[in-house]
Amino acid sequence: MTSAFRPGPLNLITDVLGLTVGHLTDEAVRSGATVLRTDGFWAAAVDVRGGGPGTRETEALAPENLVGKAHAIALAGGSVFGLAVADGVVAALSDQGQGLRLKPGSPAIPVVPAAVLHDLGNGGDKAWGLEPPYRRWGIAAIEAASRTFALGRVGAGRGAMAGYLPGGIGSASLDLGGGLMVGALVAANPIGTVYMPDGRSFWAWPFEIDGEFGGRRPGAHPPVVDPMPDASRLYELGRTQVGANTTLAVVACNADLTTAECKRLAMMAQDGIARAVRPAHTPFDGDTVFALASGAIALGEARAVALARLGSAAADCLARAIARAVYEASLG
Amino acid sequence: MTSAFRPGPLNLITDVLGLTVGHLTDEAVRSGATVLRTDGFWAAAVDVRGGGPGTRETEALAPENLVGKAHAIALAGGSVFGLAVADGVVAALSDQGQGLRLKPGSPAIPVVPAAVLHDLGNGGDKAWGLEPPYRRWGIAAIEAASRTFALGRVGAGRGAMAGYLPGGIGSASLDLGGGLMVGALVAANPIGTVYMPDGRSFWAWPFEIDGEFGGRRPGAHPPVVDPMPDASRLYELGRTQVGANTTLAVVACNADLTTAECKRLAMMAQDGIARAVRPAHTPFDGDTVFALASGAIALGEARAVALARLGSAAADCLARAIARAVYEASLG
């Protein structure tokens, strides 16, 4: 039986209305930044499952803490230097008047959680001394934000790897009917591999819609038993430091989720990483999933059932987005 | 290329030497208990990712807390009543002299973390009033503990379901060479389904070794896009309460892992649930993974790389164990 479920019109996270995405890609540095902007102050949460994360403002998203919402999410390469991307986004949004106003006349205070991946060793020009470029890139990425955006070797995914292959930016969406939309955005830089042992079929193949990542299907193949496959980078010297590899993701929907419900959405979406990458969530990955909810659609009764459905869809969208990231990077 | 990795001689978690497993199965109650016993006091941790867990002594396994070790892990049906299984195991082990001795002459204090699944509504005789049987069953399961044990509709898996199909007990192991052994034990009662949309291929099929769960391979199939497949039980009345569904697992290895390293092993093993069950980790699942390490093999240098490899193998073993649980239950 064929299902009626389809991607949204763009098959991008921006099918969740109110979101825009902007990239800054620097070919000389071989790095970049990607910013996901909301049109307001959306319920938000984060789930960190990698052993080497690089993050900012994640504690503000804990369900038991005060804020639990975000104006934008910033992703970047550059490891610890990349965290400055949020400085630029905060300044740019505040300059436009977006943010919390705690007192008349004081600056607007945007909440911009951020996460970074490691691309320092990829041969780009990283001799930035006291002036790393990521703060500037955050401002530029906000200026570039749009409902349509490029996939592959752009933005925060410019310097990313997936195993030994180029990684990059991916996205996907699913229309659940009744006005409900779910989407995912990813900067895929996992130490694990997105390919099955045949070296060509994506782990995520069962979830593919309309050949969005090449339509390859696995044939006969040997059992998948090597826990550290050659296509992963676990043995590669110089890349197995903590935090050297990371899948950074945002999942979003237009339901009226609370911060705690966004946390469950992010937790379930981690299963999309598990299904698209093997191994995942190692000590060397910084795997981090943010979740956002616009609140446009009221879930009404049986909220937890609806949340399970949204979480399952978010996991599928994230698995598809990861495969699309590597597929699009391979085309470039 | 065919890999040299093979299951251990039993293809059970007890291939990790020092472990024994005992079941108590009650056909009238349609429930039971399963106890995994160590031969000492093993490093242990737990990772809870379901939205409706039922657990005991999990805080004692937090890396920042004092204990971080366990003498046994107890699994049972019976929801909240089943937690009493650990009472029986604690009494039985202490009676045999196993446990911490804080003062000469005082009873030995066994540390027995436990987790339960929901099988209360399966038609068995649950009219136990003030005398639920689980404490007795814990004592009996310890008496039955052995290196070989049954799979399928036994022990804590007697009343389990997997989607709409019978769930049960599963196990699997992998010999990583160099003396390193990894294994998994599961009581599989997920709300999600273990089958792809063709209704016969296990999600875990890529990881199968030697037809251990029937050797079925997916053929052409429609895209997997329904986030709440018919074969899951999400819409079934009376079963979508919090905590009504759960995959309870233990992964074990014979390396010298710390409690914190066991936590990472458990976290990575959750990916095995993600790969074998869809959806997983919903608000209605109590998905809980314990991890144990005997310490027989010193990992030496590059510990984090070895840990990533063990975690990847644990995830694979758990995915295989889940498929075996449902496969063996279908044979019975």
Is A218 near chain B, with CB under 8 Å?
yes
C-beta atoms of A264 and B51 within 8 A: yes
| Segments of chain A assigned E as strands | 20-26, 31-48, 55-56, 69-76, 114-116, 161-162, 165-166, 168-177, 180-189, 246-255, 288-297
Q: What single string gives the DSSP state of each residue in A148-162?
A: S---BSSGGGTT-EE
Query: If you search the block for the tokens 């911060």, which residue do you land on?
Result: A259
pLDDT reported for residue A244: 66
Q: Residue A136 and residue A84: Cα distance in Å, rounded?
A: 9
In 3D space, the residue among A143, A276, A147, A257 whose CA is nearest the CA of residue A201 turns out to be A276
Full pLDDT tens readout for chain A, 332 residues: 345 799 999 999 999 999 999 999 999 999 999 999 999 999 999 999 999 999 999 999 999 999 999 999 999 999 999 999 999 999 999 999 999 998 898 999 999 999 999 999 888 999 999 999 999 999 999 999 999 999 999 999 999 988 788 999 999 999 999 999 999 999 999 999 999 988 899 999 999 999 999 999 998 666 777 888 877 766 554 444 444 689 999 999 999 999 999 999 999 999 999 999 999 999 999 999 999 999 999 998 889 999 999 999 999 999 999 999 999 999 97
Give B24-68 pLDDT, tens digit per residue. Answer: 999 999 999 999 999 999 999 999 999 999 999 999 999 999 999
C-beta atoms of A304 and B240 within 8 A: yes
Alpha carbon distances (Å) from A219 to A163, A192, B201, B316: 22, 21, 14, 20
Residue of chain B whose alpha carbon sits nearest to that of A6: B225
Chain B residues inside the 8 Å CB shell of A174: 225, 227
Q: Which of B49, B207, B267 sits opposite A223 (nearest CB)?
A: B207
CA distance between the termini of chain B? 35
C-beta atoms of B274 and A275 within 8 A: yes
Tokens encoding B65: 């807390």
Tokens encoding A185: 């955005």
Considering only the C-alpha atoms of chain B, give the largest distance between any 2 of them, rounded to a whole number of Å. Answer: 67
- Residue B235: pLDDT band with limits 50, 70, 90: low
Contacts of A239 (CB under 8 A, 6+ apart): A121, A191, A233, A245
C-beta atoms of B227 and A313 within 8 A: yes
For A322, phi then psi, to 5°, come to -65, -45
Q: Which of A242, A271, A279 sits opposite B268 (nearest CB)?
A: A279
C-beta atoms of B222 and A305 within 8 A: no
C-beta atoms of B234 and A309 within 8 A: yes
C-beta atoms of A222 and B1 within 8 A: yes
Q: Give the distance from CA A132 to its chain's centroid.
A: 22
Tokens encoding B155: 């022990």
Is omega for the bond preceding B206 within 30 degrees of 0, making it cis?
no
Chain A residues inside the 8 Å CB shell of B51: 264, 304
Q: What is the dihedral of CA B131, B137, B139, B145, to 10 degrees?
A: 180
pLDDT reported for residue B236: 57
Is A329 near chain B, with CB under 8 Å?
no
User: A240 vs chain B: nearest CA distance in angstroms?
Assistant: 8
Q: Residue A116 and residue A245: Cα distance in Å, rounded?
A: 10
Chain B residues inside the 8 Å CB shell of A302: 240
Relative orientation angle of helices A85-95 and A134-143, to the nearest 10 degrees: 40
Tokens encoding B263: 């936590």
Q: What is the 3-state secondary structure (H, E, C) of B138-195?
A: HHHHHHCCECCCCCECCHHHCCCEECCEECEEEEEEEEEECCEEEEEEEEEECCCECE
pLDDT reported for residue B237: 41
pLDDT reported for residue A225: 79
Question: For the complex shown, is ipTM > 0.90?
Answer: yes
What is residue A107's DSSP assignment? P
pLDDT reported for residue A227: 86
Torsional sign, CA A142, A143, A144, A146:
positive
Bridge-based pairing state of the strands A55-56 and A114-116: antiparallel
The SS3 assignment for B213 reads coil
Q: Residue A232 and residue A238: Cα distance in Å, rounded?
A: 14
Is B313 near chain A, with CB under 8 Å?
yes
Instruction: Tell me the residue type at B42.
Output: W
Tokens encoding A187: 């900067």
C-beta atoms of A308 and B234 within 8 A: yes
Instruction: Tell me the residue type at B171.
Output: S
The SS3 assignment for A103 reads coil
User: A76 vs chain B: nearest CA distance in angstroms?
Assistant: 25
What is residue B108's DSSP assignment? P
Is A30 near chain B, with CB under 8 Å?
no
C-beta atoms of A283 and B304 within 8 A: yes
pLDDT reported for residue A4: 73
Instruction: Identify from B47, B203, B226 which residue to disrupt to test chain A contact, counting A C-beta atoms within 10 A and taking the largest count.
Output: B226
B229 pLDDT above the threshold of 50: yes
Chain B residues inside the 8 Å CB shell of A268: 279-282
What is residue A6's DSSP assignment? B
Tokens encoding A94: 């505040």
Q: Give the distance from CA A62 to its chain's centroid.
A: 18
Higher pLDDT residue, B163 or B187?
Answer: B187
Alpha carbon distances (Å) from A42 to A62, A254, B18: 14, 10, 51
Between A and B, how many residue pairs show a Cβ–Cβ distance under 8 A? 167
Query: If you search the block for the tokens 């208990």, which residue do you land on?
Result: B33
CB atoms within 10 A of CB B243: 19
Compute the half-sphere exposure of residue A72: CA atoms within 13 Å on the CB side of its CA: 31
B240 pLDDT above the threshold of 90: no
Mean local confidence (pLDDT), B222-231: 78
Residue of chain B whose alpha carbon sits nearest to that of A52: B304
pLDDT reported for residue A208: 95
User: A212 vs chain B: nearest CA distance in angstroms?
Assistant: 11
Is B97 near chain A, with CB under 8 Å?
no
C-beta atoms of B235 and A305 within 8 A: yes
Burial of residue B230 (CB within 10 Å: 0-12, 13-18, 19+) is middle
Tokens encoding A19: 């979101």
C-beta atoms of A308 and B242 within 8 A: no
Chain B residues inside the 8 Å CB shell of A228: 305, 308-309, 312
Q: Give the distance from CA B160 to its chain's centroid.
A: 12
Is residue A197 left, alpha or beta, with left meaning phi > 0 and alpha meaning psi from -120 to 50? alpha
B199 pLDDT above the threshold of 90: no
pLDDT reported for residue B244: 65
Lowest-confidence pick of A93-97, B1-5, B66-70, B145-149: B1-5
Chain A residues inside the 8 Å CB shell of B283: 264, 304, 307-308
Query: If you search the block for the tokens 């073993």, which residue do you land on?
Result: B317
pLDDT reported for residue A23: 98
Higher pLDDT residue, B112 or B238?
Answer: B112
Q: Which of B226, B242, B274 sits opposite A271 (nearest CB)?
A: B274
Q: Residue A253 and residue A182: Cα distance in Å, rounded?
A: 4
Is A264 near chain B, with CB under 8 Å?
yes
C-beta atoms of B207 and A227 within 8 A: no
Q: Residue A28 and residue A33: Cα distance in Å, rounded?
A: 14
Contacts of A77 (CB under 8 A, 6+ apart): A31, A32, A33, A116, A117, A118, A119, A156, A157, A158, A159, A160
Burial pattern B180-217, b for ≥16 Cβ within 10 A else e, equals bbbbbbbbbbbbbbbbbbeeebbbbbbbbbeebbbebe
Give B267-311 pLDDT, tens digit per residue. Answer: 999 999 999 999 999 999 999 999 999 999 999 888 999 999 999
Chain A residues inside the 8 Å CB shell of B207: 223-225
Is residue A235 left, alpha or beta, with left meaning phi > 0 and alpha meaning psi from -120 to 50? alpha
B326 pLDDT above the threshold of 60: yes
Query: If you search the block for the tokens 């504690």, which residue do you land on?
Result: A59
Is A222 near chain B, with CB under 8 Å?
yes
Is omega for the bond preceding A279 within 30 degrees of 0, making it cis?
yes
